Amino acid sequence: MKTLSFNILIASLPLIASIVGVAAGLEAQAQSPPSATPASTSSTIIPLNLNLTLAFWAQARSSDIKLDFSTADAPALQQQQGQPVTFRGQPLNVTHRQGPYHGNVAVVRFGSQLLLAARSIEFYLSPRSALPDYPQDADPSKKWISWWVSRLHLCSADPGTLQPLSCSEYDPRGWRGEECMWNAGFESLGPEDPRLIMWPGKGLFVMITSKPWPLRRGSTKPSDTHCAGPWAQQPWLAPLITYPQGSSSSSSSSSSSSSSSDPWITSGLIRLQYLPDHVAQAAAGSSSSSSSSSSSSSSALGGKQHNRTRSHRHHALHKEKNWNPFVYNNELYFSQSFDPHVVIKCAAPSGTCSKAHQTASPPLQALPAKPRGNTQAVLLPAAVTAEADDVYIGIIHVEVARRYTNYFYKMQARPPFAMTALSAPIPLVYGKHPRIPAWGHIAFPMSLQLLEETNQLMIGYGSGDQVPRVKLMDLKDALALFEQTGGQQQQQQGRESDKAGAAAGMLD
């Protein structure tokens, strides 16, 4: 049996007492108003010297478990359901209210503890006229604003049943409720889609997606509430639990600096900033030339020119999301794009990201739509897979005609991290979206972890944006999906519905 000791890093969150035995009331810090750039959240390191035993806890080799948050998150749900809807501190005239639903969930086994990060989502409809200065539309069918309001919950879970035990709402941002506006009849608020990232030598981190703060705070004018740009939505990274320097878990670290001086730890919430080449060129005023150069560059690298394109109402703004993180040589990288495969690396504390590698992705060429990211890619040692070399395994998805399909992929375990294989579709439980039932085939994985002592993969995901689930899968069954040909046939059939998916737009 292995044991480890670790420190708890609290970065502006009321960390759950049932997880670490300590409660910290730092929610007020997360509400502090930002200046032009919100100040980095401070961090406190509390040495607890906990000895956690890595014991066998999985109850079944392969299972798909529905998680029930009704008890663990009852206080937050009751408070949320009983509150009137407000916007910028003022009552909002809502004609439809639905939810909240717990949907996409990430799960990680950290020592002997099982931790969950879940997104809950609530839907509102309000008249455009109810919001001062909001752009109106002459089309009567577009007189509404559709609000998708998300919250993030950190929870402890029973390692035997995987069910959540106790939850606490978590928002590390300093501009909650004051996100910038898209001013287009659809608005998302709150932190979205948490990824729990295991970073050997450092600890456990969470990556969220969020709108940034508006151009000017305290105003309702579209020219002020508009996103400052160039991002309308992007990833953010924050530390949750950190290993102390010199512990058994950080002994593999090649860094000589301690956790107290590591900017990834001490900087709190970090805004990850990356613009793809063609977006950066367009933002610089050369969008026409960037279109051709992006196309030729993608073709040269073998990137398939999928028929599907994302519709941007605000051409000057860019949505960046669904990166797959992975750790190599104790450094954090992200797969920002998959066909071609673009790997980026970010700096702390600035969060500025740059392209590290770009390679063609022949195994992904048969996909019927542009692949997008889901989970952390985890290392599979050659001794486990019986392959010649170590590989990373991760999960991507495609969406065609509002139907999601998820796949495992393999990539090299060394630079340039080229894609080497694609699996048949992963057997998950797909569900209908609660707000728009026509979106009837949705499953969105958020986390992937290898349970080394049992050779199982553990996948945290949301079914239909309203049912959180955890899938335990024997590694040999996952690897067998790479040998199946049925997935390729399904991909070929998917091409026929590609145009319908493009017309319907994106759902990721």
Residue type for position 261: S
Burial class (CB in 10 A: 0-12, 13-18, 19+), 455: middle
Query: Which is more confident, 67 or 159?
Result: 67
Q: How far apart are CA 448 and CA 457, in angstroms?
A: 7
Chain segment 104-134, per-residue pLDDT in tens: 999 999 887 899 999 999 999 999 988 888 8
Tokens 């996100």, residue located: 179
CA atoms within 13 A of residue 153's CA, in its CB half-sphere: 29
pLDDT for 236 equals 97
Chain segment 178-228, per-residue pLDDT in tens: 999 999 999 999 999 999 999 998 999 999 999 999 998 878 788 888 898
Q: How far apart are CA 109 and CA 107, in angstroms?
A: 7
Evaluate whether 67 touches 163 at the Cβ level (below 8 Å). yes
Is residue 424 over pLDDT 80? yes
Q: How far apart are CA 481 and CA 449, in angstroms?
A: 17
The arithmetic mean of pLDDT across residues 126-145, rounded, is 89
Evaluate whether 427 touches 407 at the Cβ level (below 8 Å). no
φ, ψ for residue 375, nearest 5 deg: -125, 170
CA atoms within 13 A of residue 487's CA, in its CB half-sphere: 24
Write down all domains in the chain, each with its CATH number in brackets: 1-247+260-271 (no CATH), 362-508 (2.115.10.20)
Is residue 494 over pLDDT 70? no
User: What is the pTM for the complete model shown?
Assistant: 0.81
